[in-house]
Amino acid sequence: MSTSTASAPTATTVARRARRNRLLLLAGLGLVALSITRVISGEGVLTASGTINAMVWLTLPVALAGLGGLISERAGVVNIGLEGMMMLGVWGAGFAGWRWGPLAALVAALIGGALGGLLHALATVTFGVDHIVSGVAINLLAAGTVRFLSELTFTPSTGGGPTQSPPMSGNIPTFDIPVLASGPDVLGSVERTGIPVLADAAGVLRGLMVGITPYELLGLAMFPLTAYLLWRTALGLRLRSAGENPWAAESLGVNVVRVKYLAVVWGGALAGLGGLFLVMFTGSYREGMTNGRGYIGLAAMIFGNWRPGGLAAGATLFGYADAVRLRSQNSLAVLALFIFAGIVVIALGVLWLRRGRRLPGAIFIGIGVTFLLGYLGLDSLPNEVTTLTPYIVTLVVLSVSSQNLRMPKADGMVYRKGEGH
């Protein structure tokens, strides 16, 4: 007689399930905190579907730039030049979108970012230039290049100018999820009830289901695709080995130079793809529209511990704060985020106290109380502070987040074939 028993889950599977459940719990608690903030402040824009929809468009540029940096650094090349690569992608998308439409804008954004990545790879991998120096040089070079091309191309007769392209031609196809977000619009009906938590959850879900474009789906697909390629394929193993110990990888027959070139060019193309969404969100290219998003993407990558999931979470935080700033009619909705920040930071402080870490716990609780007192004591925020809110929120989260960061061991090291033997 034979019996069959289900195989016991591996330790990796158990850890993955525990991490997934923890993330779902944190997302649920975050939604509750956001709902409490919305009820106390009366600012419905905080969980409105329009805000969430804008959040997606504003998250993708940061997230894709960070993803490009992740791929590059996993191969051992520090990429400070993400901002410049995004600039090249933005300009390419603005020019091609004006001349030939959205699909051409996509192709041009990828090519523009990839060219920046190729230049960075040439400098760092082939000529051994310091990675930071090369990245800063690319940022400066890209800023000058796009200004020169704009003055050459976007003349007044075209409807543009040195700092702005003509509007993108053609229409971007969009669709809504039937029943839930269109037709009966079930989620919209629930959102309009204003019931705490339930209406907020409906607003968040509806914002993710309306005005969907194929380009958004492509950008979002880059994250599971990149995770699969890095951790489930032979190419990903070679790429990660080049970032951990390139000389050991070389001894096993890996063409480390080729792998590094591929990673940096690929990363640059993703940064350029991020620039595409800025052009599509505004309808045209504008000088300076990247506005430091490449650097924020780099910070989100570090926050995410060089992993796509954590990176996406950090980028979403920035995109949400930026969407609230743009969607609010005044600074009151941005000021309301002080309540949300206070609740979150106090919760972190309580968690530290439960773990026996009294000093960090007391500091976090003090910071959280300061946020709440700030909301009670302020009537409004200056425009300068409102504009900087997404950057301030990102920096605060990076400073208070606690995790065991581990960058690739050979990240930033100059590699020379054969020298490590």
CATH code, domain with 49:
1.10.3470
pLDDT of residue 345: 85
CA proximity to 274, closest of 192, 334, 218: 218
- Name residue 117's amino acid: G
Q: Distance between CA atoms of 404 and 401, rounded to whole angstroms?
A: 10
pLDDT of residue 2: 44
- Is 39:291 a contact under the CB 8 Å cutoff? no
Look at residue 195 and tell me if it is in a domain.
Answer: no
Mean pLDDT over residues 376-396, rounded? 79
Q: Residue 10: pLDDT band by 50, 70, 90 thresholds?
A: confident
Tens digit of pLDDT for each residue in 337-361? 889 988 988 988 898 899 888 888 8
Q: How many domains does the chain have?
A: 1
pLDDT of residue 208: 95
Look at residue 140 and tell me if it is in a domain.
Answer: yes
Tens digit of pLDDT for each residue in 172-194? 999 999 999 988 999 999 999 99
Mean pLDDT over residues 59-84, rounded? 96
H helix count then E strand count, the chain: 16, 0
Tens digit of pLDDT for each residue in 104-146? 999 999 999 999 999 999 999 999 999 999 999 999 999 999 9
State CA 201 to chain mean position distance. Answer: 22
Half-sphere exposure of 23 (CA within 13 A, CB side): 10
Domain range for residue 79? 40-175+211-329
- pLDDT of residue 12 exceeding 80, the answer is no
Sole residue written with tokens 């796509």: 308
Look at residue 228 and tell me if it is in a domain.
Answer: yes
pLDDT of residue 77: 96
CA proximity to 274, closest of 97, 64, 118, 113: 64
